[in-house]
Structure 1
Amino acid sequence: MTASASCSSAQESKESAPRKLRIAVLNRTFSTTGGGAEHYSVALVEQLAARHEIHVFAQEIDHQWPGVTYHRISMPLRKPRWLNQLWFAYRTWYATRYGFDIVHSHENTWHGDVQTVHVLPVKYNLFHGLTGWRRALRHVKVALSPRLLTYLALEHLRYASRPGRKIVVTSSSLQSIMKIAYPNCSSEVRVVSPGITMPALPVTAQRKSQARISLGLPASAYCLLFVANDYRKKGLEVLLEALAKLPENVVLAVVGHGTQIPLFKSQINSLKLNSRVFFLGSLKDVGPAYDAADCLAHPTLEDTFGMVVLEAMAHGLPVVVSSSRYCGISELLQTGLNALVVQDPRNSLELLHALELLLIQPLLRGQLIRGATDFALNHQWREVAFKQEEIYLSSRKSSFF
Structure 2
Amino acid sequence: MTRIVQIVPFIGPGTGVAGVAWHLEQELRALGATVEQFTFDSARRRRMVPWPRNTILARIRGGWRMIWFSMVGTRRAKRFLAERPDAISICHNNVVAGDVYVNHGVLLASMRARGRSPWRIYRNPVHLFIYLRDRIRYRGHAHRVAVCLSEGDADDLRATYGPIGPRIEVIPNGVDLDRFRPPTAKERTSARAEFGLGGDERVGVFVGHEFSRKGLSFAIRGLATAPSTLLMVIGGNDDIIAESHAEAIEHGVGDRVLFLGPRANLPDLLAACDYFVFPSAYEANALVVLEALAAGLPVIATPVGFAPEIVRDGVNGYLVERDPEAVGERMEELATIDDEAFAALSRGARASAEPYGWREVARRYLALAEQLLAERSTAPADRATG
In the superposition, the TM-score normalised over structure 1's length comes to 0.78
Matched, 1:88 2:69: yes
Partner residue, 1:366? 343
Residues 277-308 of structure 1 show CA distances to partners (whole Å, capped at 9, x for unaligned) of: 22222222311011111111111111122221
- Which residue in the other structure is 2:358 paired with? 381
Q: How many residues align?
A: 360
Task: Give the partner amino acid of 2:101.
Answer: Q
Matches within 5 A, 1:2-401: 19-28=1-10, 30-33=12-15, 35=16, 37-50=17-30, 51-58=32-39, 72=47, 78-80=58-60, 81-96=62-77, 97-98=79-80, 99-100=83-84, 101-122=87-108, 138=119, 142=122, 145-162=124-141, 165-185=144-164, 188-199=167-178, 202-214=182-194, 216=195, 218-220=197-199, 221-247=201-227, 250-259=229-238, 260-323=240-303, 326-342=304-320, 344-345=321-322, 347-362=323-338, 363-395=340-372, 399=376
Q: Which amino acid aligns with 1:113?
A: D
Contact 2:150 2:170 (8 Å CA) reproduced: yes
* Counterpart contact for 1:234–1:299, Cα < 8 Å: yes
User: Cα offset for 1:164?
Assistant: 6.1
Larger radius of gyration: 1
- Rounded Cα–Cα distance in structure 2 between residues aligned with 1:333 and 1:186: 31
Provide the C-alpha distance between the structure 2 equivalents of 1:124 and 1:244, rounded to a whole number of angstroms.
28
Structure possessing the higher relative contact order (Cα contacts under 8 Å, 6 or more residues apart) = 2
Q: Secondary structure at the match of 2:292?
A: helix
Alpha carbons of structure 1 residues 79 and 179: separation in structure 2 relative to 1, 3 Å: same
* Structure 2 residue matching 1:382: 3-state secondary structure: helix
Instruction: Deviation per CA, 1:194-250: give whole Å up to 9, x if none.
Output: 122223664222111212344x353343211111111111111111111234336x3
Q: Which amino acid aligns with 2:357?
A: Q
Alignment partners' CA distance in 2, 1:224 and 1:388? 34
Aligned in 2, Cα 1:258/1:252: closer, same or farther, shift over 3 Å? Answer: same
Alpha-carbon RMSD across the aligned residues, in angstroms, is 3.3
- The residue type equivalent to 1:372 in the other structure is A
Deviation per CA, 1:142-182: give whole Å up to 9, x if none: 4x653233112211222243276111000011112222233
CA contact 1:121–1:178 (8 Å) conserved in 2: no
Q: Which runs of 5+ in 2 are unaligned?
A: 52-56, 378-383
Residues 225/110 of structure 1: CA separation in 2 closer, same or farther (3 Å cut): same
| Equivalent position amino acid for 1:348 in 2 | P
Cα distance in 1 for partners of 2:344, 2:209 equals 30
Tell me the distance in 2 between the aligned counterparts of 1:189 and 1:178: 10
Question: What displacement does 1:115 show?
Answer: 0.8
The amino acid of 2:103's aligned partner reads V
Contact 1:20–1:52, Cα closer than 8 Å, also in 2:
yes
- Secondary structure of the 1:292 match is coil
When the two structures are superposed, what TM-score results if normalisation uses the length of structure 2? 0.81
Cα separation, 1, equivalents of 2:95 and 2:143: 17
Question: Structure 1: any 5+ residue segments left out of the alignment?
Answer: 1-18, 62-69
Residue 170 of structure 2 aligns with an amino acid whose one-letter code is V
Whole-Å separation in 1 of the counterparts to 2:237 and 2:76: 34
Per-residue deviation, 1:394:
3.3
**CA pair 58-290 structure 1, distance change in 2 beyond 3 A:** farther
CA distance in 2 between partners of 1:386 and 1:146 (Å): 39
Tell me the residue number matched to 2:380: none
Q: Give the Cα separation in 2 of the matches to 1:315 and 1:184.
A: 39
Offset, 1:311: 0.9
Q: Which amino acid aligns with 1:161?
A: G
The superposition leaves residues 308-331 of structure 1 with CA deviations (integer Å, 9 ceiling, x where unpaired) of 1111111111111112xx333223
* Letter of the 2:5 counterpart: I
| Partner SS state of residue 14, structure 2 | coil
Q: Secondary structure at the match of 1:23?
A: strand
> 2:169 corresponds to which letter in structure 1?
R
